[in-house]
Structures are given as structure tokens and as C-alpha cells.
């Protein structure tokens, strides 16, 4: 029951952000940022005010996917999120760097401080769903970031060539530690659909993600194909305009949760 949950981190009492969902992965390069961006886009299209807090401080790739360039505005106490063309609020290290090619080489504590600031100093709007692009992995850095945000639930992103069961187990351990539910499992780059003949190719072999989701009691599970159009859209800053409905089951689940 809800009364057993610890109080949320009292970081931003004036916050109008209602739900904070962390998007995690076992390692880099599996599409965590892409899924985070697409979730915010799809939930926005479903009628919710959405935001992205890019907590992947050392590899911030969210602004690029939305074609957001330039600097965040603000003063010493307030920082304003960038607003995408379709109204998604975004804050990322890349909006604060002089050059977006500058590497960020900070260690865990400074990373979590920055994320805390993103949460508390940024003037977020009346956001229904905030998606947090977490640092990759299930080690110290994501765990510290977890502790610095009032996270309500987790979406796990894995690719079929990984040991999905192990990643899910680690994510579940992390979620239990934080006393939040694993809401969904996304298997990214799951298959390839031939654009000419429509045939589906399971390049990395048969998927085990669905049975893993069932085994661990994760209620929502979905797949995204290897889609060159998706990669092109991310590169071109056009993530808001892609035709990809693979994350619809998660949006449906969020709708139901909001209705409850
Ligand atoms: P992560 O955040 O896990 O490091 P990214 O979201 O940055 O991974 O994705 C890594 C690269 O793979 C990006 O160039 C992205 O556009 C591409 N990519 C991710 N998912 C897909 C997909 N389903 N189809 C094609 N390209 C993808």
C-alpha cells in the first residue's frame, strides 16, 4: 500500500511536476535516450504536459534529438527549461555547456548535485509526466541520481543482444531499494522489418524479453524495431515527427494510472 512508501525527496516543494519516471539501461548505446525522448513525445501527443530531465550528464543527447540548440536562460536562482516545437520541456547539461562537444568528466557526487539542481532550480511548468534520462548502468552514479530525485517508477530499456534477464534483475533490485515499481520493459532494436518486402527479421535471435517481463511481474512490455528512419530523425532533431508507435502500450498504461 501507498502508506508504506517513504516520503518523496523534499527537493522542490513548489514543484508542479506530478509524476517522475526514470528511464534506465544496463549499459550505454541501447537507445535509452531515444526511448526517453520518444516517451515524452508520445505522452505529449496523448495530451499530457511532459518534460525531460537529462540526467545522463556525461553523455547528454536529448536536446539534439529535439533539434534544440543554444543556451538555457535564467539567473542565479532560476533556470528555464528549453521548450521543444511541440511543447516538451527540456533541461540538459548540453544547454549549459559552452560547446556541446565539450566532454563532461565529472564524478558521481557532482553529477548528482547537478541533477538535484536541474530538479530544484529549473522552473518546470505544470508537468504531468517528467521522464528522466538516467546515466547508463545500475552502478553508483545512477543510484545517487535516483536518490536525488522523487522518482515514481522506472522504465527499463534493453537490447536483445544483452543479457536482458540480468539487467532486469539489477533494475528491479535498484527499484526495490528505492521502493518504486518497474513500470515497463522496452526491448529496443528488437527486430528489423524489411522496407521492401515487409518481412520481419529477428537479427539477434528470438526475443526473451516478454517471458522475462512476465517472470518478474513487469506489467507492460513492448518492442521497438531497428528503424533507420528513427536514427535519422534523432540525428536531424526531428524525434517529435517520427511515425513509431512501439511505445503505445506504455502510454496506455500511463493513461490508466492517471485515471486511477
Ligand atoms: P543510449 O542513451 O542508451 O546510450 P541512444 O538513445 O543514444 O542510446 O541510442 C544510440 C544510437 O542508436 C543513437 O544514434 C540512436 O539514434 C540509435 N538508435 C536507438 N534506437 C534505435 C532504433 N530502434 N533504431 C535505429 N536506431 C536507433
| 163-208 pLDDT tens trace | 888 888 898 888 888 899 999 999 999 999 888 898 999 888 788 8
pLDDT for 182 equals 95
Instruction: Assign domain 16-259 to its CATH superfamily.
Output: P-loop containing nucleotide triphosphate hydrolases (3.40.50.300)
12-39: average pLDDT: 89
Contact residues for 239 (Cβ-Cβ < 8 A; gap 6+): 34, 37, 38, 41, 65, 66, 233
Q: Is any ligand 1 atom within 6 A of the Cβ of residue 188?
A: yes
- For CA atoms 198, 203, 205, 211, the dihedral sign is negative
Number of the ligand 1 atom closest to the C-alpha atom of 35? 6
Q: What angle do CA 32, 38, 40 make, to 5 degrees?
A: 105
Which segment of 18-27, 97-106, 174-183, 220-229 scores lowest on mean pLDDT? 97-106
Confirm whether residue 31 is marked as ligand binding. yes
Which segment of 8-12, 45-49, 106-110, 131-135 scores lowest on mean pLDDT? 8-12
Number of the ligand 1 atom closest to the C-alpha atom of 228? 25
Per-residue confidence band for 91, with pLDDT thresholds at 50, 70 and 90? very high
Number of the ligand 1 atom closest to the C-alpha atom of 157? 3
Q: Is any ligand 1 atom within 6 A of the Cβ of residue 44?
A: no
Q: Is any ligand 1 atom within 6 A of the Cβ of residue 32?
A: yes
Q: 204, 208, 206: which is closest to 221 by C-alpha?
A: 208
pLDDT for 1 equals 37
102-126: average pLDDT: 85
Per-residue confidence band for 5, with pLDDT thresholds at 50, 70 and 90? very low
pLDDT tens-digit profile of 147-160? Answer: 889 999 999 999 88
Q: Answer whether residue 92 shows pLDDT above 70.
A: yes
Per-residue confidence band for 14, with pLDDT thresholds at 50, 70 and 90? low
Which segment of 33-37, 81-85, 128-132, 163-167 scores lowest on mean pLDDT? 163-167
Q: Answer whether residue 4 shows pLDDT above 80.
A: no
Cα of 118 vs centre of ligand 1, distance in Å, is 24
CA 223 distance to own-chain centroid: 15
Q: Is any ligand 1 atom within 6 A of the Cβ of residue 159?
A: no
3 state DSSP class of 129? strand
3 state DSSP class of 118? helix
pLDDT for 8 equals 46
Q: Answer whether residue 245 shows pLDDT above 90.
A: yes
Cα gap 162→28, rounded to integer Å: 11
Q: Is any ligand 1 atom within 6 A of the Cβ of residue 226?
A: yes
Confirm whether residue 164 is marked as ligand binding. no
Q: What is the mean pLDDT of the chain?
A: 89
Q: What angle do CA 185, 182, 167 make, to 5 degrees?
A: 60
- DSSP string covering 207-256: --HHHHHHHTT-SEEEE----HHHHHHHHHT-GGG----TTHHHHHHHHH
ipTM value of the model? 0.99
pLDDT for 106 equals 75
Look at the pTM and tell me if it is higher than 0.95: no
Cell 511505445 maps to which residue? 247
Cβ atoms of residues 218 and 225 within 8 Å: no
Confirm whether residue 87 is marked as ligand binding. no
pLDDT for 13 equals 54
pLDDT for 10 equals 47
- Domain extent listing, the chain: 16-259
8-18: average pLDDT: 63
Q: Whose CA is nearest to atom 16 of ligand 1?
A: 231
Cα gap 67→52, rounded to integer Å: 14
pLDDT for 76 equals 73
Q: Answer whether residue 104 shows pLDDT above 60.
A: yes
Amino acid at each position: 500500500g501507498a502508506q508504506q512508501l517513504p516520503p518523496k525527496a523534499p527537493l522542490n516543494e513548489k514543484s508542479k511536476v506530478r509524476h517522475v519516471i526514470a528511464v534506465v539501461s544496463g549499459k550505454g548505446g541501447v537507445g535509452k535516450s531515444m526511448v526517453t525522448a520518444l516517451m515524452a513525445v508520445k505522452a505529449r501527443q496523448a495530451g499530457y504536459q511532459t518534460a525531460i530531465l537529462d540526467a545522463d550528464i556525461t553523455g547528454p543527447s536529448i536536446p539534439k534529438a529535439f533539434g534544440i540548440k543554444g543556451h538555457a536562460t535564467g539567473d542565479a536562482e532560476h533556470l528555464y527549461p528549453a521548450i521543444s516545437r511541440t511543447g516538451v520541456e527540456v533541461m540538459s547539461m548540453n544547454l549549459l555547456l559552452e560547446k556541446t562537444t565539450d566532454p563532461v568528466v565529472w564524478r558521481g557526487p557532482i553529477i548528482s548535485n547537478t541533477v538535484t539542481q536541474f530538479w530544484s532550480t529549473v522552473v518546470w511548468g505544470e508537468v504531468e509526466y517528467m521522464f528522466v534520462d538516467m546515466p547508463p548502468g545500475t552502478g553508483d552514479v545512477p543510484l545517487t541520481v535516483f536518490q536525488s530525485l522523487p522518482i515514481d517508477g522506472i522504465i527499463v530499456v534493453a537490447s536483445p543482444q544483452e543479457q536482458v534477464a540480468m539487467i532486469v534483475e539489477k533494475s528491479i533490485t535498484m527499484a526495490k531499494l528505492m521502493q518504486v515499481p518497474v513500470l515497463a520493459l522496452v526491448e529496443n532494436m528488437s527486430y528489423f522489418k524489411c522496407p521492401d518486402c515487409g518481412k520481419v527479421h529477428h537479427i539477434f535471435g528470438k526475443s526473451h524479453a516478454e517471458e522475462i517481463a512476465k517472470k518478474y511481474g513487469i506489467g507492460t512490455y513492448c518492442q521497438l524495431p531497428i528503424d533507420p528512419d528513427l536514427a535519422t530523425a534523432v540525428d536531424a532533431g526531428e524525434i517529435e515527427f517520427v511515425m513509431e508507435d512501439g511505445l503505445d502500450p506504455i502510454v496506455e498504461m500511463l493513461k490508466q494510472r492517471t485515471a486511477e
